[in-house]
């Protein structure tokens, strides 16, 4: 039994992996903050999320050992992400597509109920929603 | 129990060996982390939908957040993740004193995170950037900026609660480590708390760009 | 335990009330759950009888509209959150899952006990809300009404939130138990089908329930701060609440029905004394139902104002649920074919499940069709449909399982004659109560109204009479089951001639489940290879 247990703890990662991953996370944080000051049009979100995903992958694979452990744990983690994606995407099939057939569906449920409604002019940013400009 | 050969003290009676017990704990922890991901997932969905409906308001409102404090907190939390991972590594090498040191460092970093968060929150309370009907700030253009702050406080508040829960768990394993309950043979609770702490970090890794960097 | 020299089993060893209150034994926790859900079922049943009584005549007789709203909300909330979700998994599943896979206990016994006390704690919130003005939103807590009503929504939602944790812990425990605690040699394809069903259920529990948690938290957040996520006065979108809510609550319907289907697989195989037909198809259809259940929630929202695109996608995906459900029903019927069928009480429940669930399932297909749903939405047709699935399906399966495993759980046989009488009363009473509601619904009787037009009265009266027959059936059942505990004939270890492991140990089982750890000598349904006889007929 002891042989088995110590067998398992043979999984000890070298120190440089932890420090290296930590360093990479710091660098990536720096990069993403700096990029956020640059206007990339619609791409800022994409870049920020891409960097965040890389950081998350580093944490999950190295700090949480998913790269080395039984792949069932990775499966569980990806299941969570998969169901979360279903939740968000399917809901957006509704929220982003209202008003195709009956335009009044696209309006807020109670127009005029918004308490801070203002006409403001930020037309430089691409506005492609059915809800903001009423 | 009734079996004659010696069992390690930490082996519960219904498991047949240590390996089964350890893997069960880990499996359970991962399933628990799955539930955590989906719990936060609801807030991410609220964020995604309101942001898609009100991109301008979100852009304007996010400027009210302090990007330097947010960045500092990101660094703090990543550092705490590193120290947490190292505490487990020291445990695997049976260096108990080092483990204690790294756990205390993790706790200290978590405290720093909360202190910074406290300053951010108190500033927002002061100027009235609050959720819903308590919102009284007037400097943000766009429709319904109180929704942004509702989501902001919801997400960071729930995350903050998880930081607190994680800290309690770290204190618990710290005490048990000091009492010499763990060794290279058996350190499952430390490992589980580590997984939880990394998840807290993971969520912040997404909260940070979504709330602070949406430029 | 009246016998002078009682055999040592989990019921009498160890002794004392403390050994029950702090028990870590999955069997005792299962019994605690069984007692609690029975109490919840009784409470919900009383509300149901009151609803039917009010609806006996048009106009106000028993209660006014506000009280009526509270009563049907409580009926729904109690039956769903306190009874049907924990019913099969937490009571029967807890008791039998480790036995079925030859384990000594579930993977996390402390978590198991915690889940029970969290259940009790959450139930107390729900009961507390009854005394502080109740809730009149319906069990669905739809916004914007739930953010405006003066009734005590917050205690009830907090209660449901806490009950969610209980459900998550049970699910988590089961997943790990099934993965890690099977005895050597029990491969995935040698698992009893009830275990497969519990596994699929547990997946839904851990994936969907956290979303309910955050939904209810956001609802409380909305009531306290008016954050504007669901509240239209503050720029929120009430339809979004329905997405949040049904992402949990539609899969939750399968948390309710899947374990029932698992029990039916066991019952049909045991009482036909025949190898189950299409083992893998039944096993994977459970997982298939679990997965598809996450893709169809929008069919509750066809008239709520969601986009036409979403409605079409959800309608299409809803039809897919029919495939794995149909596979199951076909396999069960094929198992019956040329089997040696014994019509014992559990089998009678299994057969009525087949009949009633098929009606419930097919009417679900009607409701999943977009155009039909516009006509039938929020009518008694919907009420009848989900009662055919939930009561005709889950409750019948639960009762079947209860009668099947009663001798194992308590070591006593109930009275055969009275159990058949009760079964017939429940079956007849159920159909009288709810079939009339299909007709009422298709004629346009809306749900959740305390009053109705005179033309609906005959069917309403018919339905109310059915509820009395149903009640009589349950009262008889309670009497003979309680009687059997004290005066019942002692049950043999394997009264029905089952091949799964729970029948290989004592009735009731000893503290650590098995005196000798069982060995995999045959599969769970190898009636073609192993000769077992029904000893208790």
Separation CA B180–CA B202 (nearest Å)? 30
Write down the mean pLDDT value for chain C: 93
All chains having 3 or more CB pairs closer than 8 angstroms to chain B = A, C
Q: What is the Cα C72 distance to its own chain's centre?
A: 19
Separation CA C111–CA B145 (nearest Å)? 42
Least confident stretch, A51-55, C225-229, C266-270: C225-229
| Main-chain dihedrals φ then ψ at residue C413, nearest 5 degrees | -95, 140
Interface contact B89-A15, CB threshold 8 A: yes
- Please give the share of chain B, as a percent, with pLDDT higher than 90: 77
| Non-local CB neighbours of A118 within 8 Å, separated by 6+ positions | B141, B142, B143
**pLDDT value at residue C235:** 84
Q: How many CA atoms lie within 13 A of C125 on its CB side?
A: 21
Which of the four pLDDT bands, split at 50, 70 and 90, describes residue B5?
low
Q: How many CA atoms lie within 13 A of A63 on its CB side?
A: 34
Mutate which of A78, A84, A109 to disrupt the C interface (most C C-beta within 10 Å)? Answer: A109
C138-151 mean pLDDT? 88
The nearest CA of chain B is from the CA of C494 a distance in Å of: 25
Interface contact A94-C298, CB threshold 8 A: yes
Q: Which of the 8 DSSP states describes residue C7?
A: P
Pairing of strands C489-490, C412-413: antiparallel
Which string of DSSP letters, residue by residue, matches C308-352?
A: HHHHHHHHHHHHHHHHHHHHHHHHHHHHHTT------HHHHHHHH
Among candidates A4, A36, A63 on the partner chain, residue whose Cβ is nearest the Cβ of B19:
A4
Interface contact C229-B151, CB threshold 8 A: yes
- Please give the share of chain C, as a percent, with pLDDT higher than 90: 82
Separation CA C29–CA C35 (nearest Å)? 10
Mutate which of B20, B36, B44, B56 to disrupt the A interface (most A C-beta within 10 Å)? Answer: B56
Separation CA B57–CA B147 (nearest Å)? 9
**pLDDT value at residue B6:** 61
Interface contact B213-A79, CB threshold 8 A: no
| Main-chain dihedrals φ then ψ at residue C298, nearest 5 degrees | -65, -10
C430-455 mean pLDDT? 95
**pLDDT value at residue A109:** 66
C249-264 mean pLDDT? 95
> Which CA distances in Å does C219 have to C72, C80, C156, C215, C236?
21, 19, 11, 6, 12
With contacts defined as CB-CB under 8 Å, which chain B residues touch A52?
205-206, 208-209
Separation CA B151–CA B142 (nearest Å)? 16
Smallest CA-to-CA distance from C261 within C328, C177, C187, C359 is with C328
Separation CA C67–CA C51 (nearest Å)? 10
The nearest CA of chain A is from the CA of C187 a distance in Å of: 17
A113 CB neighbour count, 10 Å cutoff: 16
Interface contact B41-C179, CB threshold 8 A: no
Number of domains in chain B: 1
**pLDDT value at residue B205:** 96
With contacts defined as CB-CB under 8 Å, which chain A residues touch B18?
1, 4-5
Separation CA C167–CA C74 (nearest Å)? 20
The helix (H) or strand (E) run that includes residue C413 is: strand C412-413
Among candidates B1, B40, B133 on the partner chain, residue whose Cβ is nearest the Cβ of C226:
B133
Interface contact A29-B74, CB threshold 8 A: yes
| Non-local CB neighbours of C456 within 8 Å, separated by 6+ positions | C58, C440, C443, C445
How many residues can be counted in chain C?
Answer: 537
C483 CB neighbour count, 10 Å cutoff: 14
Inside any domain, residue B118: yes
With contacts defined as CB-CB under 8 Å, which chain C residues touch B154?
218, 221, 227
**pLDDT value at residue B215:** 64
Chain A with chain B: Cβ pairs closer than 8 A: 186
C515-529 mean pLDDT? 88
**pLDDT value at residue C98:** 96
Interface contact B144-A18, CB threshold 8 A: no
Q: What is the Cα B77 distance to its own chain's centre?
A: 8
Q: What are the tens digits of pLDDT across the range C5-55?
A: 567 889 888 888 889 999 999 999 999 999 999 999 999 999 999 999 999
| Main-chain dihedrals φ then ψ at residue C105, nearest 5 degrees | -165, 175
Interface contact C306-A94, CB threshold 8 A: yes
The class that CATH gives domain C25-504 is mainly alpha
Among candidates B56, B85, B145 on the partner chain, residue whose Cβ is nearest the Cβ of A127:
B56
The nearest CA of chain A is from the CA of C232 a distance in Å of: 6
Which string of DSSP letters, residue by residue, matches C114-182?
A: HHHHHHHHHHHHHHHHHHTT---STTTT-TTHHHH--S-HHHHHHHHHHHHHHHHHHHHHHHHHHHH-P
With contacts defined as CB-CB under 8 Å, which chain C residues touch A72?
179
Inside any domain, residue B1: no
Which of the four pLDDT bands, split at 50, 70 and 90, describes residue B38?
very high
Q: Which of the 8 DSSP states describes residue C8?
A: P
CATH number of B156's domain: 1.20.120.80
Interface contact B147-C227, CB threshold 8 A: yes
Q: Please give the span between the terminal C-alpha atoms of chain A, in angstroms, as a whole number.
A: 70
C347-356 mean pLDDT? 97
Separation CA C536–CA C534 (nearest Å)? 6
Three-state DSSP state, C84: helix
Point out which residues pair with C489 in neighbouring strands: C413
With contacts defined as CB-CB under 8 Å, which chain A residues touch C290?
none
Q: Where are the alpha helices (DSSP H) in C7-152?
A: 17-21, 26-54, 65-77, 85-86, 94-100, 109-131, 145-148
> Which CA distances in Å does C267 have to B143, C335, C399?
59, 11, 11
Chain B with chain C: Cβ pairs closer than 8 A: 112
- Does residue A2 have a pLDDT over 80? no
| Non-local CB neighbours of C347 within 8 Å, separated by 6+ positions | C267, C268, C271, C341, C400
**pLDDT value at residue B11:** 86
In the stretch 108-167 of chain C, residues with CB closer than 8 A to chain B read: 108-109, 111
Q: Where are the alpha helices (DSSP H) in chain B?
A: 18-53, 55-62, 67-92, 96-127, 145-178, 188-212
Q: Which structural domain, as residue segments, surrounds residue B201?
A: 72-212
Q: Does C183 touch chain B (CB under 8 A)?
A: no
> Are B14 and C173 contacting, i.e. CB atoms less than 8 angstroms apart?
no
Smallest CA-to-CA distance from C89 within C202, C212, C175, C254 is with C202
Interface contact B24-C176, CB threshold 8 A: yes
* Structure ipTM: 0.93
Three-state DSSP state, C379: strand
Smallest CA-to-CA distance from C296 within C161, C388, C177, C204 is with C204
Interface contact C294-A86, CB threshold 8 A: yes
| Burial environment of residue C505 by CB neighbours within 10 A (0 to 12, 13 to 18, 19 or more) | buried
Among candidates A86, A93, A109 on the partner chain, residue whose Cβ is nearest the Cβ of C238:
A109
Q: What are the tens digits of pLDDT across the range C157-213?
A: 999 999 999 999 999 999 999 999 999 999 999 999 999 999 999 999 999 999 999
Q: How many CA atoms lie within 13 A of C513 on its CB side?
A: 24
Q: Which residue has the higher pLDDT, A112 or B97?
A: B97
**pLDDT value at residue C280:** 96
Q: Dihedral of CA B12/B18/B24/B29: which sign?
A: positive
Inside any domain, residue B46: no
**pLDDT value at residue C519:** 87
Interface contact B144-C235, CB threshold 8 A: yes
| Non-local CB neighbours of C251 within 8 Å, separated by 6+ positions | C204, C207, C208, C290, C293, C294, C297
A40 CB neighbour count, 10 Å cutoff: 13
| Non-local CB neighbours of C526 within 8 Å, separated by 6+ positions | C275, C499
Among candidates C104, C214, C222 on the partner chain, residue whose Cβ is nearest the Cβ of B39:
C214
Separation CA B74–CA B68 (nearest Å)? 10
Interface contact B34-A63, CB threshold 8 A: no
With contacts defined as CB-CB under 8 Å, which chain C residues touch A79?
207
Q: What angle do CA C156, C161, C164 make, to 5 degrees?
A: 125
| Non-local CB neighbours of B78 within 8 Å, separated by 6+ positions | A22, A25, A26, A29, B201
Q: Which of the 8 DSSP states describes residue C454?
A: G
C412-436 mean pLDDT? 96
With contacts defined as CB-CB under 8 Å, which chain C residues touch A73?
none
The nearest CA of chain A is from the CA of B175 a distance in Å of: 23
Q: What are the tens digits of pLDDT across the range A8-24?
A: 444 788 999 999 999 99
Interface contact A117-B93, CB threshold 8 A: no
- Does residue A127 have a pLDDT over 60? no
Q: What is the Cα C409 distance to its own chain's centre?
A: 19
Mutate which of B17, B29, B39 to disrupt the C interface (most C C-beta within 10 Å)? Answer: B39
B103-121 mean pLDDT? 97
In the stretch 45-104 of chain C, residues with CB closer than 8 A to chain B read: 103-104
**pLDDT value at residue A80:** 96
Inside any domain, residue B154: yes
Q: What angle do CA C351, C356, C358 make, to 5 degrees?
A: 100
Smallest CA-to-CA distance from C128 within C158, C150, C163, C148 is with C158
Mutate which of A15, A21, A59, A70 to disrupt the B interface (most B C-beta within 10 Å)? Answer: A59
**pLDDT value at residue A120:** 44
Listed by start position, the domains of chain C span 25-504
> Are B16 and C207 contacting, i.e. CB atoms less than 8 angstroms apart?
no
With contacts defined as CB-CB under 8 Å, which chain B residues touch C235?
143-144, 146-147
With contacts defined as CB-CB under 8 Å, which chain B residues touch A33?
67, 71, 213
With contacts defined as CB-CB under 8 Å, which chain A residues touch B89?
12-13, 15, 18
C240-252 mean pLDDT? 95
Separation CA C78–CA C530 (nearest Å)? 44
Mutate which of C13, C228, C512 to disrupt the B interface (most B C-beta within 10 Å)? Answer: C228
Write down the mean pLDDT value for chain B: 92
Interface contact C179-B27, CB threshold 8 A: yes
Least confident stretch, A53-67, A106-120, B139-153, C20-34: A106-120
**pLDDT value at residue C14:** 84
Chain A with chain C: Cβ pairs closer than 8 A: 69
Q: What are the tens digits of pLDDT across the range C106-125?
A: 999 999 999 999 999 999 99
The nearest CA of chain A is from the CA of C262 a distance in Å of: 24
Separation CA C79–CA C49 (nearest Å)? 13
Q: Which of the 8 DSSP states describes residue C223?
A: H
With contacts defined as CB-CB under 8 Å, which chain A residues touch C313?
90, 93
- Does residue A131 have a pLDDT over 80? no
Q: How many CA atoms lie within 13 A of C59 on its CB side?
A: 3
Interface contact A92-B52, CB threshold 8 A: yes
Inside any domain, residue B58: no
Mutate which of B36, B42, B50 to disrupt the C interface (most C C-beta within 10 Å)? Answer: B42
Mutate which of A80, A82, A93, A109 to disrupt the B interface (most B C-beta within 10 Å)? Answer: A80
């Amino acid at each position: 039994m002891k042989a088995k247990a110590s067998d398992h703890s043979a999984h000890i990662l070298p120190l440089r992996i932890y420090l290296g991953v930590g360093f990479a996370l710091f660098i990536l944080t720096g990069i993403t903050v700096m990029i956020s000051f640059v206007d990339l049009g619609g791409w800022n979100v994409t870049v920020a999320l891409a960097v965040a995903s890389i950081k998350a992958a580093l944490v999950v694979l190295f700090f949480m050992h998913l790269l080395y452990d039984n792949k069932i744990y990775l499966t569980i983690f990806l299941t969570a992400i998969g169901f979360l994606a279903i939740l968000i995407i399917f809901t957006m099939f509704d929220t982003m597509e209202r008003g195709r057939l009956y335009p009044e569906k696209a309006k807020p449920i109670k127009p005029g109920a918004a308490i801070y409604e203002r006409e403001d002019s930020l037309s430089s940013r691409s506005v492609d929603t059915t809800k903001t400009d009423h | 129990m009734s079996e004659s050969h010696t069992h390690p003290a930490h082996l519960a009676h219904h498991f047949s060996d240590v390996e089964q017990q350890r893997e069960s704990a880990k499996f359970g922890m991962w399933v628990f982390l799955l539930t955590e991901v989906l719990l936060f997932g609801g807030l991410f969905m609220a964020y995604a939908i309101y942001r898609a409906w009100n991109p301008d308001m979100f852009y304007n409102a996010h400027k009210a957040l302090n990007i330097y404090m947010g960045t500092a907190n990101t660094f703090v939390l990543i550092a705490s993740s590193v120290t947490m991972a190292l505490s487990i590594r020291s445990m695997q090498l049976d260096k108990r004193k080092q483990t204690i040191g790294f756990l205390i460092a993790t706790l200290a970093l978590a405290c720093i995170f909360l202190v910074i968060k406290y300053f951010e929150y108190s500033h927002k309370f002061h100027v009235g950037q609050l959720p819903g009907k308590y919102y009284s700030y007037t400097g943000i253009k766009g429709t319904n900026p109180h929704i942004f702050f509702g989501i902001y406080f919801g997400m960071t508040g729930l995350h903050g609660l998880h930081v607190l829960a994680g800290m309690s768990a770290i204190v618990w394993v710290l005490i048990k480590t000091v009492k010499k309950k763990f060794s290279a043979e058996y350190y499952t609770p430390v490992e589980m708390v580590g997984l939880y702490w990394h998840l807290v970090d993971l969520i912040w890794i997404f909260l940070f760009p979504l709330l602070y960097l949406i430029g | 335990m009246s016998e002078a020299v009682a055999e040592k089993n989990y019921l009498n060893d160890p002794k004392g009330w403390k050994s029950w209150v702090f028990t870590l034994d999955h069997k005792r926790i299962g019994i605690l759950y069984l007692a609690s859900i029975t109490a919840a079922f009784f409470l919900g049943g009383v509300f149901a009888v009151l609803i039917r009584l009010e609806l006996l005549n048009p106009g106000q007789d028993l209660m006014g509209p506000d009280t009526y709203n509270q009563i049907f909300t409580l009926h729904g909330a109690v039956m769903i959150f306190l009874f049907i979700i924990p019913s099969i998994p937490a009571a029967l599943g807890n008791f039998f899952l480790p036995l079925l896979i030859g384990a000594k206990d579930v993977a996390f016994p402390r978590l198991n006990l915690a889940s029970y006390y969290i259940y009790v704690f959450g139930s107390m919130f729900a009961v507390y809300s009854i005394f502080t003005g109740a809730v009149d939103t319906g069990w669905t807590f739809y916004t914007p009404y739930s953010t405006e009503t003066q009734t005590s929504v917050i205690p009830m939602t907090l209660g449901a939130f806490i009950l969610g944790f209980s459900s998550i812990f049970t699910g988590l425990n089961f997943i790990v138990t099934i993965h890690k605690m099977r005895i050597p040699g029990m491969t995935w394809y040698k698992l009893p089908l009830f275990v497969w069903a519990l596994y699929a259920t547990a997946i839904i529990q851990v994936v969907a329930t956290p979303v309910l948690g955050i939904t209810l938290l956001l609802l409380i957040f909305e009531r306290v701060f008016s954050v504007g996520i669901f509240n239209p006065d503050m720029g929120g979108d009430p339809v979004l609440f329905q997405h949040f809510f049904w992402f949990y609550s539609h899969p939750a319907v399968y948390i309710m029905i899947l374990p029932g289907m698992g029990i039916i697989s066991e019952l049909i195989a045991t009482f036909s004394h025949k190898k189950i037909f299409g083992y893998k198809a039944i096993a994977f259809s459970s997982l298939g139902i679990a997965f598809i259940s996450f893709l169809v929630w929008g069919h509750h929202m066809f008239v709520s104002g969601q986009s036409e695109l979403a409605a079409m996608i959800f309608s299409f995906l809803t039809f897919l649920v029919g495939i794995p459900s149909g596979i199951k029903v076909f396999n069960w019927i094929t198992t019956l074919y040329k089997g040696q069928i014994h019509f014992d009480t559990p089998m009678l429940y299994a057969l009525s499940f087949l009949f009633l669930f098929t009606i419930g399932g097919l009417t679900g297909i009607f409701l999943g069709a977009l155009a039909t749903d516009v006509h039938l939405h929020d009518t008694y047709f919907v009420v009848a449909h989900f009662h055919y699935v939930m009561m005709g399906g889950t409750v019948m399966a639960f009762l079947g399982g209860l009668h099947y495993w009663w001798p194992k759980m308590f070591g006593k046989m109930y009275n055969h004659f009275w159990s058949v009488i009760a079964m017939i009363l429940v079956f007849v009473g159920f159909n009288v109560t709810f079939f009339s509601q299909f007709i009422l619904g298709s004629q346009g009787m809306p749900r959740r109204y305390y009053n109705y037009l005179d033309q609906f009265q005959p069917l309403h009266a018919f339905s109310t009479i059915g509820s009395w027959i149903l009640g009589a059936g349950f009262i008889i059942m309670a009497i003979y089951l309680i009687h059997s505990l004290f005066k019942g004939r002692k049950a043999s270890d394997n009264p029905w001639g089952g091949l799964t492991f729970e029948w290989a140990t004592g009735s009731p089982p000893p503290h650590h489940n098995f005196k000798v750890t069982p060995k995999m000598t045959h599969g769970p349904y190898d009636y073609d290879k192993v000769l077992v006889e029904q000893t208790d007929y």
